Structure 1
Amino acid sequence: MSAEVGKAPLATWLAAAFGRQGDRVPAHMPDVVLGLDDRAAPPRMLALALQQIALQSIYFVLPVMAAAAFGAGPVAATNYLCLSLLGLAVFAVLQALTRGPVGAGYPMPATPSGVLFAPLLLAAAQGATLAQATALIMINGVVALLIAPVVRRLTTLMPTEVTGVVVFLVGASLLPSVMAMLHVDAAMPAASLPAIIVAMGCFIVMVVVAVLRWHLAPFAVLIGAATGTVAALLAGMAPAGARDVLAIEPWFALPMPAAAPDFDFAPGLLVPFLLCLVASLASLIGTTVALQRATDGGWTRPDPGPIRRAIIAHGLAGVLAGMAGGMGSAASTSCTGLSIATRTFARNVALAGAAILFVLAFCPKAVALFVLVPAPVQAAMLLYVAGFMMAQGCEMIVRRSLDTRRTVVAGLGLTSGLAVLVSPAFFTAALPALAAPLAFGALVAFLANLVTLPLVRRVERFVVPLGGRAADLVEDHTFAIGGAWGLRPDTVRKLHHALTELGDLLAARGTAAMAVTATQQEDAVELAVSFPGAPLPTPARRPRAADIEAGGDAMEAVSLWLALREATRHAMRSTSEGQELRIVFHD
């Protein structure tokens, strides 16, 4: 018996840290085409998965460029890409898990990590080997695994203002790639006009198919991409050397790591990788929150359980990718934007995409087909999802009332990220490890939130005489606090409801007054209600009409349940002056 008792706290901690019992049950979303648990028919599932892979393939060039920076030839670079595709498949499977301590439970396709790309190039420039780079990617994953269970208040460190900045900058970061794919040159604007026309035509087809909400609307990007590809090929815009690349690559090849991870690297190389981990986690949290919001009709704030497990899956995927000798993966914000745009969130679509990527990893010739999509078509696909991600980011930033501090956090993050977007050459020279809008903007927003967090705490005290005007006084105080502190209207309603029900309960006892201390935290409001007399009973778990008729403690238990039913947590303690009930509400 004693052994079981000794293990109980550990079991409780593990269940709280890694379990799914406390996850929020998503409310119904009326405009969702495919929900998380829906199973699309095989033809539809395949089409949706291919549409996602078409977006993922835009980033397939990153492992190739990274391998080339380390001196790899075409064959070795293709092998590195195939190993990286295996990592993408593993990442998506881990994130889609719905049981156990790993995985957010959301469809989260992956791309080669753009955030890790800059540190990889920096490592190559400083003479590191590809084996040492994979060791650094493994360490990056291990640190993410260590962070996940330790960070208990993820929504405090990454509130919606910060995650909104990340999501916005993810979309904004795609714009330079759009312009580069169109070969826009200010000195020769007419030269890029044909590519722009094809890209805009492709983009318009995507928008029209999506806006008309046909049964083909979920395939808007795929239809637009197919139309644009035909137009680009007819206009002679096939990628240079496409035939030669397809001829050289074999149909089947077993991807093999170039060398075992080498941990004998210069310690200074670890710094940029760990700095970029902050941006990677911010991007992951932003993507997870965007999916939470898009799939939950009653969403008000991030659910920390799936976020924590998403970080665990991210870290584990990084470790496995490093062990396999491939590039680290990141949640594909482009694919997330596509899911939000088309309202299709079925997990089996992401799993089908992972299966296709797994097969592609053993077929270099098929991989080349995705890499050789005409540049104007790739630009149109990126532009389409960038708009949705930027709009989603703006909506997340203003989800809560923007007081001065939140405005500073969001404003500094956005301006920092956009500054990198405007002057990339300066940041490449001055801060090469953070020379990306997402990396620098996310880090600035995170630090601004962290530094100003101690300044948030505000306290308001008042006494409510429990007479005929008690309800009016409670309403006046709660609405005044809500306006002064910038609380969400729903939070104000919860405060008002709890104090009203509690006041009625104490008045029925004959209590003359209750003293209330309201304390504002970053993402919560705590009420400390003090009153004389005996402790209150334990709130009822299943209120019954018979309890109300019985009166006494049974009726008080029901009344207390009514007061606390929307609270995040509560606690009762005895004081020298009577009793104190603490109630916490998330804002």
Structure 2
Amino acid sequence: MPRKPSNILYGADEKPPLGTLLILGVQHAVLALLFVVYPLVAAAEAGLSFSDTQVLITSCIIFMGVATIIECWPRPGAGRLLVQIPNMAHLPLAIQALAVGGPSLYAGMSLIAAFSQFTLSRFLGALRAVFPPEVCGVAVTMLGVALAEPALRRFFGLTAETAVAQLDLRFPLASLVALVVIIGLAIFSRGLLRLFAVAIGAGAGWGMSAFLGIAPEPEFALNALPVIDLPHIGFPGVSFFSWALVPAAILTGVITAVDMIGTVVSMQRMDDADWRRADLDEAGRAVRANTIADMGAAVTGGFSSASSSAAIGVAFATGTTAWRVGIVSGVIMILAAFSPRLIAALTIIPPPVIGAILIYAAAFLIVAGMELILSRRLSDRRIFTVGLAVLTGLAVAVLPELVRTTPEWMQPILESPLSISTGVAILLNLLFRIGIGREASRQVTAEESPFTVATEFLERQGDLWGARRDVVAAAIPVVAEGVEMLLDTGVAEDGLEIRARFDENNFDVRLVYTGAPLEIPNHRPSPEDLLGDAQAVARFVGYMLSKRADRLVIERDGERQALLLRFEH
């Protein structure tokens, strides 16, 4: 079992009390339902009828709940708190497909996107080298950056038509109240106050918005809508006639899968104090669960969904990553589809409240991504991989006119800071691997200092290979002790050779020498052995090395002996 971080109250596999479980589930579900604004925007831009819009939203909500339940369940899902929201990456594809061919064409393009997601998920285990921590860190950081633009617009009450000079200070004031309450409770409170920090902050922000007169008024009478009614879903058919949209659909699926990987890695990192590497098998299960839900939404006329990066900020604020919270949240979403009045009420939550929650989530994701990046020793190659990838993502965010100069079918992909920066990070990571040997060696003589040799050699190779700092630091004294033992006891007759090898799972160091094979006792030798002959001292030191390395193996290397010290990475 992973060691739970000190700031987490309820870990992934823990069961919060029933009352806490229900309230946290409602909190996540309400936040997820706020994002029905994405399918609403797509429907408005494409000029859909009221009935088609109702189907688009209702089916989206139902399969958001289904996907959340499947993803949060340990099997067949990931067993993480992965709450779904309408997929913002689908917005450009939805607008184009709905405008050109209506719901049936969008259903076809959604199926193509889902199939590309599924295909990528089957190869994630084999692509571990493509997604080292620094690449995952770029993805997580840019998740936060991607949230910044919609978060800040809502925070300051800006729209595409609003000039900054016309800024209404009531909007940032309401947002600031909500944000201060959330952060204050998350940092300085304990117990129930911290668990419900987001809900309390949202309530404070809503109250301030109402007091300042900026809470939106409904365009319809809520009382005229039924409290409970059967969900309105449809079966629009499936069309693939617009081949010009197929590349955009495939790339939208890839973007969604990368986004999902970043979200899963963020939750893994948050829930494990000793996190080492991304569990891509788990990420693959999450992507496949999302694929199933997207296919269901497509054939019933709904909008696609994806794991919510905003929910990660809520999990951090509440200190709860329990997957059972996600199950409750998914059930509440499905039940919400049976209440037209509830869905309508969610569409009038003040934008400053949403902006405050998104800013909190963005801040957490940016810092979490930096932690992932810096968890490894950064060589020049990795520094440029991370730096150029982040700058590319920032370029499309700061200079959107650059994107508008590209072909129209490419713009939905290039305008996403997340997709473009992650793609650049992957390509540069593969390019900069050229010329890096995965093995290195160094001869050591009896006149040299074992600790100095081990430190200089392993740190240099660790920097070059991008090994984790703590793994290299743990290996140095163990290797130095092994070298000193072999040389000082005379077991190594004429010096020895240090051979280091690295892959994404292990950092191996072999001490190769000419001499008698070393014997490693199964039981701890007595302290008196240190006063015995050289072989007894070597056995004692060998036993100690076997306890300090993750694995110790005695091997032969042709005519020579080899002592393998393995450190899990």
TM-score normalised over the length of structure 2: 0.85
Residue type of the alignment partner of 2:340: P
Match of 1:291 in 2: 267
Match of 1:53 in 2: 29
Is residue 62–residue 337 contact of structure 2 (8 Å, CA) maintained in 1? yes
Match of 1:148 in 2: 121
Match of 2:138 in 1: 165
Structure 2 CA distance for partners of 1:498 and 1:252, relative to 1, 3 Å: same
Alignment size in residue pairs: 554
2:112 matched to 1:133?
A: no
Aligned residue among 63, 75, 91 for 1:87: 63
Residue type of the alignment partner of 2:95: L
2:218 matched to 1:236?
A: no
Aligned residue among 195, 207, 214 for 1:218: 195
Structure 2 CA distance for partners of 1:481 and 1:411, relative to 1, 3 Å: closer
2:73 matched to 1:121?
A: no
Aligned residue among 267, 275, 282 for 2:243: 267
Residue type of the alignment partner of 1:235: L
Could you tell me how far 1:222 is from its partner in structure 2?
A: 0.7
Aligned residue among 283, 289, 292 for 1:307: 283
Match of 1:254 in 2: 231
Structure 2 CA distance for partners of 1:547 and 1:137, relative to 1, 3 Å: farther
Could you tell me how far 1:351 is from its partner in structure 2?
A: 0.9
SS in 1 for 2:125: coil
Aligned residue among 149, 164, 175 for 1:176: 149
Could you tell me how far 1:300 is from its partner in structure 2?
A: 3.0
Aligned residue among 275, 296, 305 for 1:329: 305
Is residue 89–residue 357 contact of structure 1 (8 Å, CA) maintained in 2? yes
Structure 2 CA distance for partners of 1:478 and 1:93, relative to 1, 3 Å: same
SS in 2 for 1:462: strand
2:408 matched to 1:433?
A: no
Could you tell me how far 1:170 is from its partner in structure 2?
A: 1.8
Match of 2:532 in 1: none
Match of 2:355 in 1: 379
Residue type of the alignment partner of 1:257: G
CA RMSD of aligned residues (A): 3.6
Distance 1:137 1:561 in 2: 58
Distance 1:295 1:560 in 2: 34
Could you tell me how far 1:382 is from its partner in structure 2?
A: 1.6
Structure 2 CA distance for partners of 1:272 and 1:528, relative to 1, 3 Å: farther
Structure 2 CA distance for partners of 1:428 and 1:92, relative to 1, 3 Å: farther
Distance 2:466 2:421 in 1: 25
Match of 2:183 in 1: 207
Cα deviations across residues 250-304 of structure 1 (Å, max 9, x unaligned)? 6312332332333x33333221222233332222222222212211121233233
Distance 2:278 2:299 in 1: 32
Structure 2 CA distance for partners of 1:484 and 1:156, relative to 1, 3 Å: closer
Could you tell me how far 1:360 is from its partner in structure 2?
A: 0.8
Distance 2:113 2:23 in 1: 34
Structure 1 unaligned blocks of 5 or more: 1-24
Could you tell me how far 1:82 is from its partner in structure 2?
A: 1.4
SS in 2 for 1:258: coil
Is residue 144–residue 365 contact of structure 2 (8 Å, CA) maintained in 1? yes
Match of 2:470 in 1: 490
Is residue 548–residue 558 contact of structure 1 (8 Å, CA) maintained in 2? no
Distance 1:419 1:523 in 2: 34
SS in 2 for 1:129: helix
Structure 2 CA distance for partners of 1:188 and 1:418, relative to 1, 3 Å: closer
Is residue 235–residue 299 contact of structure 2 (8 Å, CA) maintained in 1? no
Structure 2 CA distance for partners of 1:267 and 1:579, relative to 1, 3 Å: farther
2:492 matched to 1:516?
A: no
For structure 1, which segment, 130-139 or 330-339, has the greater mean C-alpha deviation from structure 2 after superposition? 130-139
Is residue 501–residue 560 contact of structure 1 (8 Å, CA) maintained in 2? no
Distance 1:116 1:145 in 2: 16
Is residue 169–residue 417 contact of structure 1 (8 Å, CA) maintained in 2? yes
SS in 1 for 2:220: helix
Aligned residue among 391, 400, 406 for 2:367: 391
Structure 2 CA distance for partners of 1:71 and 1:528, relative to 1, 3 Å: farther
Distance 1:56 1:428 in 2: 31
Distance 1:386 1:282 in 2: 17
Distance 2:43 2:279 in 1: 38
SS in 2 for 1:204: helix
SS in 2 for 1:301: coil
Structure 2 unaligned blocks of 5 or more: 530-534
SS in 2 for 1:243: coil
Aligned residue among 106, 112, 133 for 2:86: 112
For structure 1, which segment, 240-249 or 310-319, has the greater mean C-alpha deviation from structure 2 after superposition? 240-249
SS in 2 for 1:454: coil
Structure 2 CA distance for partners of 1:578 and 1:317, relative to 1, 3 Å: farther
Could you tell me how far 1:519 is from its partner in structure 2?
A: 4.2
List aligned pairs for 1:27-46, cutoff 5 A.
27-46=3-22
Distance 2:553 2:244 in 1: 48
Distance 2:123 2:397 in 1: 33
Is residue 150–residue 355 contact of structure 2 (8 Å, CA) maintained in 1? yes
Structure 2 CA distance for partners of 1:139 and 1:176, relative to 1, 3 Å: same
Distance 1:164 1:121 in 2: 31
Could you tell me how far 1:578 is from its partner in structure 2?
A: 4.1
Distance 2:309 2:416 in 1: 15
Could you tell me how far 1:195 is from its partner in structure 2?
A: 1.9
Is residue 336–residue 343 contact of structure 2 (8 Å, CA) maintained in 1? yes
Structure 2 CA distance for partners of 1:37 and 1:521, relative to 1, 3 Å: closer
Structure 2 CA distance for partners of 1:139 and 1:506, relative to 1, 3 Å: farther
Distance 1:236 1:429 in 2: 41
SS in 2 for 1:208: helix
For structure 1, which segment, 87-96 or 190-199, has the greater mean C-alpha deviation from structure 2 after superposition? 190-199
Structure 2 CA distance for partners of 1:235 and 1:506, relative to 1, 3 Å: same
2:437 matched to 1:457?
A: yes
SS in 2 for 1:405: helix
Is residue 341–residue 388 contact of structure 1 (8 Å, CA) maintained in 2? no
Distance 1:562 1:140 in 2: 52
Match of 1:339 in 2: 315
Distance 2:337 2:29 in 1: 13
SS in 2 for 1:302: coil
Is residue 158–residue 282 contact of structure 1 (8 Å, CA) maintained in 2? no
Aligned residue among 338, 349, 352 for 2:328: 352
Distance 1:189 1:244 in 2: 34
Cα deviations across residues 488-520 of structure 1 (Å, max 9, x unaligned)? 432223433553565578677934243223245
Cα deviations across residues 374-423 of structure 1 (Å, max 9, x unaligned)? 12222222222222222222222222233222222222222222222223
Residue type of the alignment partner of 2:84: A
Distance 2:89 2:544 in 1: 48
Residue type of the alignment partner of 2:422: A
List aligned pairs for 1:564-583, cutoff 5 A.
566-567=549-550, 576-578=558-560
2:425 matched to 1:448?
A: no
Could you tell me how far 1:35 is from its partner in structure 2?
A: 1.6
